Amino acid sequence: MRRFVPLFCLFVITLGYSESFALSSPNVPQDSPVYAYLDKLSGAGLIRSDFRGIRPFSKAEAARLVLEAEAALKERPDASPLASEVVRRLKELLPREYGLYRAEKVPFFDFNPMASSRLRYVYRDGTPRSYERPVHDPGNDGVFGIGSGLRPPNPYPSPAFQHGTEGTPLLPNNEGIVYRHGSSGEFRFSSEAYVGRQVSALVEPLLLYRRADGGGQLLLNRGYLKLGGGGLELEAGRDENWIGPGFRTAITLSNNPRNLDQVKISSPEPIDLKYVGAIKYSFVFSRLDRTGSGDQLRQPWFYALKLAVKPVDNLEIGFNLGRQQGGAGVNNSLGDNIRGLLGGTSADNSNSVAGLDLRWRLPWLRNTEIYGEYSGEDTAAFWPIVESYVAGIYVPNLTADGRNEFRFEYYLGNAILSTNGTFPEGYMYRGMNLGPSAGGASEQFYARLSHYFSARNVVHLDYLHTERGNQGRVTVDAAGRFDPNGALQAVERGNAGRLSWNLPFVGDVDMNLMYGVERISNFNLVSGVNQTNQLLKVDLSYRY
């Protein structure tokens, strides 16, 4: 913590120059329906200043967007009744921030011991994928496929090694929480405290029971202090992150692993810059866990950077960077650290994932959005190579009444995405990928069809096709270890479907029911081994 004191002092000095009416507030959990509601309002043409590439949103930012939609509704008598329902529901979920966002005075001290809560039951029948496997590093890389023939084939060591686990089948991006075979239960609640306009805090304990473990476990899922708001905010504690426009997959940083213990400087709300447009930024600084031993002992520092720009209302462009650097077992001299920052060094002490993303809204096509993320790992002449991609389309108004929507998303992870020679465990935190939940060396096709009976009564139907081993296959022995004389890894193919239904239960409590089933052939790339996974989930959520 001593390292953070100068940063804290600098922030307090700078805070005096931030917006006088900035409102500090805790963040909205990334699995909250608030995000789907804001997408719905954007699709209705009622929100134009939204950014999608940095999450979670602060509650104040969500309230700002609700106020924007509410003002637009007054000028749109032709807007769908569903949009008005969604605005009303968001005001119920964000009562404090909605009421105080534009107020000149706020209570000096405020405390809410039960701001939100969720009770969850999960029954899992099946086995998660193991990502532990050797993969072939093809080398000979280019940028966007350009220049791939300029170097001798495969100048890199082969094979590389993928690590990690899927976690819970059919329930990705779950903050590193894994539900075991059989029954599991979870209860979480959040308490919030506020001092004036520019100080807020949240604590979210989580009680997890897994029958397979034979007992319960109490965790601190989230807990942080925030200072500032508006265009400048400091957050210190444990929290989740998401960098990129993807709905299911983010390559640079996602909420797939356990929440990081971090210091974050960000702009919860957009900043308008002359000649540039609106911008948002986020800088996350953390340290990963100690892994390995002896010569393989590592404990790198980690930081992630996101800068997003909207030169016009309907176009969002982002730059993403995630980086492991230094720590135990690698070169830590000042020169090596600087050379690593600038694009690599022969005494390599870092591992980077970096790229660009784009989101484009098409008002003339019922506000349909297309989005994509390009990301590269490793560098050649500064520019990242080893390419991975996310591409998607979101159709918020499949029908004119806005009650039906469709989303399609594609992900391709390079054969050696998330692997690294300097850090043998790869781009991981506590056994799970810091970015895509599907890991590297994989390909996914995801589709979702949704129908809104009302704002709180929504049905989603998901389909997912996953392939692993269609790139980077190597020969392995019977134990799955690399063996040039062994059998070639098989191509694993999985098809999954999920049906979820969210409906009002009583008062401010919603119920969510979800059932999913998945059939996998050549499970874990072993020929002839098939696997069926099933998952049942029941949630009761209060203002979540």
Residue labelled with tokens 């964000």: 94
AA identity, residue 94: L
Quickly state the pLDDT bin for 17 (edges 50, 70, 90): very low
Q: What is the pLDDT of residues 227-284, one digit of tens each?
A: 999 999 999 999 999 999 999 999 999 999 999 999 999 999 999 999 999 999 999 9
User: What are 491's two structure tokens?
Assistant: 């191509």
Q: Tally Cβ neighbours within 10 Å of residue 458.
A: 22
What confidence score (pLDDT) does residue 510 get?
A: 98
pLDDT at 16 over 60: no
What confidence score (pLDDT) does residue 346 get?
A: 53
Q: Rounded to whole angstroms, how far apart are CA atoms 254 and 257?
A: 7
pLDDT at 351 over 70: yes
Quickly state the pLDDT bin for 377 (edges 50, 70, 90): confident
Residue labelled with tokens 């390079």: 414
Sign of the CA dihedral with 251 first, then 255, 257, and 258 last: positive
Quickly state the pLDDT bin for 11 (edges 50, 70, 90): very low
pLDDT, mean of residues 386-404: 95
Q: All domains of the chain, ordered by start, with CATH?
A: 33-542 (2.40.160.130)
More confident site: 301 or 145:
301
Report the candidate in 165, 195, 192, 199 with the shortest Cα–Cα distance to residue 180.
Answer: 165
Angle at 285 between CA 237 and CA 273, to 5 degrees: 105
pLDDT, mean of residues 78-99: 95
Quickly state the pLDDT bin for 146 (edges 50, 70, 90): low
More confident site: 380 or 92:
92
Measured torsion, CA atoms of residues 328, 330, 336, 338, in degrees rounded to the nearest 10: -50
What confidence score (pLDDT) does residue 484 get?
A: 87
pLDDT, mean of residues 522-527: 96
Under 8 Å between Cβ of 25 and 229: yes
What confidence score (pLDDT) does residue 36 get?
A: 98
What confidence score (pLDDT) does residue 512 get?
A: 98
What confidence score (pLDDT) does residue 381 get?
A: 46
Listed in sequence order, the residues at least 6 apart from 364 whose beta carbon sits closer than 8 Å to its beta carbon are: none
Q: What is the pLDDT of residues 116-126, one digit of tens each?
A: 999 999 999 99
Cα–Cα distance list, 470 to 165, 496, 497, 520 (Å): 19, 18, 22, 14
What confidence score (pLDDT) does residue 15 get?
A: 45
Q: What is the pLDDT of residues 36-57, one digit of tens each?
A: 999 999 999 999 999 999 999 9
Quickly state the pLDDT bin for 66 (edges 50, 70, 90): very high
Q: Rounded to whole angstroms, how far apart are CA atoms 295 and 451?
A: 55
Report for 22-26, 102-106, 379-383: range of highest mean pLDDT: 22-26
In the chain, pLDDT over 70 holds for what percent of residues?
Answer: 89
Strands 368-377 and 350-362: antiparallel
What confidence score (pLDDT) does residue 18 get?
A: 46
User: What are 232's two structure tokens?
Assistant: 């400048």
What confidence score (pLDDT) does residue 485 get?
A: 87
What confidence score (pLDDT) does residue 142 get?
A: 56
pLDDT at 481 over 60: yes
Quickly state the pLDDT bin for 384 (edges 50, 70, 90): low
What confidence score (pLDDT) does residue 352 get?
A: 87
Whole-number average pLDDT of the chain = 90
Helix then strand then coil, in percent of the chain rounded to 5, is 15, 45, 40
Q: What is the pLDDT of residues 270-325, one digit of tens each?
A: 999 999 999 999 999 999 999 988 888 999 999 999 999 999 999 999 999 999 98
Least confident segment among 217-231, 335-349, 380-394, 459-473: 335-349
Least confident segment among 7-11, 118-122, 130-134, 461-465: 7-11
Strands 315-328 and 350-362: antiparallel
What confidence score (pLDDT) does residue 383 get?
A: 55
Quickly state the pLDDT bin for 349 (edges 50, 70, 90): confident
Least confident segment among 154-163, 214-223, 299-308, 398-407: 154-163
In the chain, pLDDT over 90 holds for what percent of residues?
Answer: 78
Q: Which helix (H) or strand (E) holds 246?
A: none
pLDDT at 382 over 60: no
pLDDT, mean of residues 375-390: 72
Half-sphere exposure of residue 51: CA atoms within 13 angstroms, side-chain side? 31
pLDDT at 140 over 70: no
- Is the pTM higher than 0.85? yes
Least confident segment among 17-21, 97-101, 185-189, 198-202: 17-21
pLDDT, mean of residues 335-342: 66
More confident site: 461 or 486:
461
**Which residues make beta-bridge pairs with 433?**
428
Q: Rounded to whole angstroms, how far apart are CA atoms 508 and 120?
A: 16
Phi-psi region at 313: left, alpha or beta (left = phi > 0; alpha = psi -120 to 50)? alpha
